[in-house]
Amino acid sequence: MSDNGAALVLEDVHKSFAKLQVLSGIDLVLAEHEVVCLIGASGSGKSTLLRCVNLLEPIDSGRIVVHGEEVTAAGVNVNELRRGIGIVFQSFNLFPHMSVLENITLAPRKALGLPKADAQARADELLARFGLADKRDEYPDRLSGGQQQRVAIVRALAMQPGLMLLDEVTSALDPELVAEVLSVIRELAAEGMTMLIATHEMGFARDVANRVCFLDAGVILEEGTPEEIFGAPREPRTQQFLQRIVEAGRL
């Protein structure tokens, strides 16, 4: 398989929790600057797949290669690997005891060894870009959900990752706050950030994705361009899933 040039390669990735098989042979390749959306019902393995990529969950078998480096090989420095991969969680997971600025500068300072002033300059630049400059000294609990999630995205970006993993980043948000977060992600996509996005926002997936993968029972059942998946899905399971989404008024 030609790994060269690909941002992310997954080969036959298996993962189970105790007796529950969550991923049963995932194959997926992301080219540089590609945005791939993972869709599928709850429990289809989307989040687990993302957590496996940056080794928050160890996989049972298979291979994961990020920017040409096999991350599932023995002896890989997981800390170094994770610095190059940004992940944003459904529940934000900001550090509640730190201000916005401290949240963002912690990893650049401690993991990359950046001087405080440089880390702050980097954070201020990102905060300004995403309209959060006036929140820099606030604590996370004082922000709205949408602001918290944007801060979480900025926190991940401050490490200047080559790959972003977004795990249902709008699922915990009130509907009117979803748009501000999605527009940030659109901006990243427009800049050419490579992203793997698990999402329930089908309209957004259709807009932003180069490719959409439908996960079902731990495998990628169907993948294609948004037009193919949303316009003319081949698999009955995909059709069923999208039908339910349409009925729920989310497409």
172 near other proteins (CB under 8 A): no
**Cβ-proximal residues to 23 (8 Å cutoff; 6+ apart), any chain:** 13, 14, 15, 16, 45, 48, 49, 52, 59, 218, 219
Rounded to a whole number of angstroms, the minimum distance from the CB of residue 247 to other proteins is: 32
Return the axis-axis angle of helices 116-129 and 145-157, rounded to nearest 10°. Answer: 130
Q: Quick one: which of 2, 141, 191, 247 contacts other proteins (CB under 8 A)?
A: 141
22 near other proteins (CB under 8 A): no
H helices of 8-144, in order, are: 46-53, 78-83, 100-110, 116-129
Nearer to other proteins, 110 or 116 (CB): 110
Map tokens 């699922």 to a residue: 171
89 near other proteins (CB under 8 A): yes
Where does this chain touch other proteins (CB under 8 A) — which range of 94-102, 183-191, 197-205, 228-236?
Answer: 94-102
Mapping DSSP onto H, E and C, the string for 138-161 reads: CCHHHCCHHHHHHHHHHHHHCCCC
54 near other proteins (CB under 8 A): yes
Where does this chain touch other proteins (CB under 8 A) — which range of 18-26, 81-89, 209-217, 219-227?
Answer: 81-89
Residue 87: phi and psi, rounded to 5, are -130, 140
Q: Quick one: which of 114, 156, 169, 195 contacts other proteins (CB under 8 A)?
A: 156
Q: Which residues bind other proteins (CB under 8 A)?
A: 51, 54, 56, 78-80, 82-83, 85, 87, 89, 91, 93-97, 106-107, 110-112, 139, 141-142, 155-156, 159
